[in-house]
Amino acid sequence: MTFNPYPPEDEFDDSGIESGDGDEAFEQPPTEVSQNSDLFTRKTSDNYWADDLPSSRLPGPFDEDFTGSARPSTTSTDIESGQSPSSQPMSRARERQLRRKQQPMAQMQGSRPTAQIKPSDRFKMPQVKLPRINRMVWAFIGGIVLVVVVVILLGRLSDNPTRRFPNAIWIGTEWTYEQRDETAVKGLADRLKNHEIGTLYAWVSWLQADNTWRGADNFENVQNFVTQFRSEYPEAELHGWVSLPVEGSGIEYRLDDPAVRQQVVDMSLRVVNEFGFDGVFLNIEPVWDGDQNFLALLREVRVALGSDVPISVAIPPDWSPIAADIPVPPLIVPGTEWSSEYKKSVALLVDQMVLMAYLSGLNAPSDYEQWVAYQVETYADAVSELGEGTTVIIGIPTFDAEPPGHDPYVENVVSAVQGIRQGLANAGITADWVRGVALYGEWTTTDDEWQAFRDAWVNAP
C-alpha cells in the first residue's frame, strides 16, 4: 500500500463519477511472464489531484520527486533547540513499552519451546511414610482435589479471550460506504475466518488538499458496517483506516503543520469513539528517515487514544539499502531506507507496524523474494530489540499492475510468501516479532489469489 494508499479510483467514487479505467482495471493479473515491453516505463502523468477522488496511488517511489531526493524532515523545535532527531526524548513511549513488556503475552503459534537443562547430579526424593488411612478417605480427598483443579482451569479458560487469527487485510468503500445485506457481510466474515484473517484495516477517509475529510457523507454507513460486521465476526479486530498524503502533486509538505496533525488526531478519536472501531490504522505517506514530525503525530495520537487502544501504522520498505547484498530497484536513489534507530522510535509509539513489502520495481520473482526476505529480517531485528509490545505484519500485493513499481508476475502472493518464509528463517529467534501477513487489498483479490494464499501460507506446514 506504499504510495497506493487507496483502492482504485472507481472504488472510492461515492459521487457517482465514472472512472475512465472501466472494467479493465479489475482484470486478473498475468500468471506468466509479462510480454509488455513498456511495463516499467514511467507514466507520463501521475497527477494525484487530477480528479475529484485520489488516483490509485500517491506520487510513488519511482516518480521524479522521489528519485531526485530523499530528505529527512525535522521540526522547527528541533532546529531551535539544537537537538538531533536521535536525541529526542522518548521517556513516555519507553515507559509505555516497559509496561507492555511486563504484561503476559499469549504464546504465538509455532513459537520455540524453552530448552530444559538436565541436572548434573542425580537427585532422589526423600521417602515419606504416610499414615495408614482408609482407602475411601483417600479417594474422597482425591476427588475434592480434582474438582478444585477443574474449577480453576475452567475459570482461567473463561477469562482468556478467543485467539485472534494472525493475518490481516485492507477493505475499501465497497464495504464501509455501501449498505450490504447480512448475507454479504456473513460471506466476507466466513472467507476471512477460513483464511485465518483476524484484523481488518477498514477504509474511513483521507485528508484532502483543503484539509477536509473525503467522504464525510458516508460516515454513518461506516459506523453501520462496524456494527454489522462485528455481529458476524466478534473475534476480529477492526482498525479504522485513515490516510494523510503528506506531499505530492499540488500539495506542499504539511506534516510540520500542527493543525494538520490535529486533524488526524481528531479523526482517530472519532474512529474509535464515534464509529466504534477497536483501533486506528494510520497511512501517512511519504515518510522519510528521521522525520520528527511523523513521530510527533504518533505521540499526539497515542496521548489522545490512550495506551489501551491499538494503533497500527503503514511502514515503507527499505527500497534500496546500501549495506545489503540484495537486488534493489534501479530507479530508486541508493540509501532510500529507514535507519534501525528510526524504526525503533516508531515502534515505541505503536502496537503494529504494517510493512508494505511491494512496489519493489524489480524484474524477476527471485529478486523480489530476496528483497522481501531482507525487509522481514531487518524489521524483525529492529523491533525485537525493544522486547514485547510491538509486532510486525507483512503486507503483500494482490492489486493490478502499477508500472514501473509493480508487475504481478514478479510480485504476487506466492513469491511474496516465499520471501517472507526466507526472511523468517534468516531472522532466527527475532522472527517471533513477525505475527502475520496482510493482503492488499480485498477489492482486487481474485479467487485464484485467495487459493494461493491459503495453499502457500495458511495451510502450509
| Residue 164: per-residue pLDDT | 78
Residue 36 sits at the vertex; the CA angle it makes with 32 and 39, to the nearest 5 degrees, is: 105
The CA-based diameter of the chain, rounded to the nearest angstrom, is 94
Q: Does a structural domain hold residue 240?
A: yes
d(CA 236, CA 232): 9
3-state secondary structure of 214: coil
Q: Which domain holds residue 294?
A: 164-458
Q: Is the pLDDT of residue 71 over 90?
A: no
Q: Does a structural domain hold residue 88?
A: no
Residue 250 — pLDDT band, cuts 50, 70, 90?
A: confident
Q: Does a structural domain hold residue 251?
A: yes
Average pLDDT over residues 339-352: 98
d(CA 13, CA 23): 14
Q: Of 373, 386, 450, which Cα lies nearest the Cα of 419? A: 373
Q: Of 214, 187, 193, which Cα lies nearest the Cα of 203? A: 214
Q: How many domains does the chain have?
A: 1
Q: Is the pLDDT of residue 122 over 80?
A: no
Residue 461 — pLDDT band, cuts 50, 70, 90?
A: confident
The rounded percent of the chain whose pLDDT value lies above 90 is 62
3-state secondary structure of 286: coil
How would you label 206-220 residue by residue, b for 16+ Cβ within 10 Å and e otherwise?
bbbeeeebbbeebbe
Residue 17 sits at the vertex; the CA angle it makes with 407 and 248, to the nearest 5 degrees, is: 55
| Residue 60: per-residue pLDDT | 53
Expressed in angstroms, the distance from the first to the final Cα of the chain is: 28
d(CA 251, CA 170): 26
Residue 306 — pLDDT band, cuts 50, 70, 90?
A: very high
Residue 94 — pLDDT band, cuts 50, 70, 90?
A: low
d(CA 252, CA 189): 40
Q: Is the pLDDT of residue 66 over 50?
A: no
Q: Does a structural domain hold residue 347?
A: yes
Average pLDDT score, the chain: 78
Q: Does a structural domain hold residue 271?
A: yes
Of 35-44, 79-88, 142-151, least confident by mean pLDDT is 35-44
Q: Does a structural domain hold residue 54?
A: no
Residue 5 — pLDDT band, cuts 50, 70, 90?
A: very low
- Running DSSP on this structure, what letter comes out for residue 356? E
Of 141-150, 317-326, 357-366, least confident by mean pLDDT is 141-150
Residue 323 — pLDDT band, cuts 50, 70, 90?
A: confident
**Alpha-carbon torsion (100, 102, 104, 106), positive or negative:** positive
Average pLDDT over residues 450-460: 97
Side chain identity, residue 71: R
Q: Does a structural domain hold residue 238?
A: yes
Q: Is the pLDDT of residue 288 over 80?
A: yes
Q: Where are the alpha helices (DSSP H) in 356-455?
A: 365-384, 413-427, 447-453
Average pLDDT over residues 423-445: 97
Q: Does a structural domain hold residue 38?
A: no
Q: Is the pLDDT of residue 112 over 50?
A: no
How would you label 68-78 residue by residue, b for 16+ Cβ within 10 Å and e otherwise?
eebeebbbeeb
pTM: 0.73
Q: Is the pLDDT of residue 97 over 80?
A: no
**What's 386's domain CATH number?**
3.20.20.80
